[in-house]
């Protein structure tokens, strides 16, 4: 179960490399912007991650939710902050969001378990 994170990231990386390997200027710049726009500015990094998370949730994109859950987790966002963000997303986006909510909660738990697991191994 814990490997789901690594598996997701490996596929993501492999295909991103292929896409960028096409040397299409538009795609390369969009990928580049995606990396840069979540750095601290007038808003801190954690807030930006939660903005990315709620946008992904209401647009119902599971892979985008996973991506922002992991970067939120690494950036130090708390479980309570994620839950509040998801609750606002569900209110705004409607019950149609709920299946994505289930998968988001599952993925967040895997991230927490992976952390515990890696700490236990040290």
Binding residues (CB under 8 A) for a second copy: these are 11-12, 15-16, 18-19, 22, 24-27, 29-31, 33-34, 36-38, 41-43, 47-48, 50-52, 54-56, 58-64, 78, 80-81, 83-99, 101-103, 105-106, 109
Residue 45 CB, nearest distance to a second copy (Å)?
12
Secondary-structure breakdown of the chain: helix, strand, coil percentages, each rounded to the nearest 5: 85, 0, 15
Residue 122 CB, nearest distance to a second copy (Å)?
28
Please answer whether residues 57 and 92 qualify as being in contact, where contact means their C-beta atoms are separated by less than 8 angstroms: no
Q: Which two tokens stand for residue 42?
A: 């007038």
């Amino acid at each position: 179960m814990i490997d789901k994170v690594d598996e997701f990231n490996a596929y993501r990386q492999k295909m991103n490399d292929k896409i960028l390997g096409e040397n299409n200027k538009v795609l390369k710049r969009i990928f580049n912007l995606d990396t840069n726009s979540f750095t601290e500015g007038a808003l801190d990094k954690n807030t930006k991650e939660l903005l990315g998370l709620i946008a992904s949730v209401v647009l119902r994109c599971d892979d985008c939710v996973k991506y922002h859950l992991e970067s939120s987790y690494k950036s130090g966002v708390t479980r309570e902050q994620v839950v509040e963000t998801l609750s606002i997303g569900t209110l705004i986006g409607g019950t149609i969001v709920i299946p994505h909510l289930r998968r988001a909660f599952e993925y967040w738990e895997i991230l927490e378990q992976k952390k515990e697991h890696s700490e236990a191994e040290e």
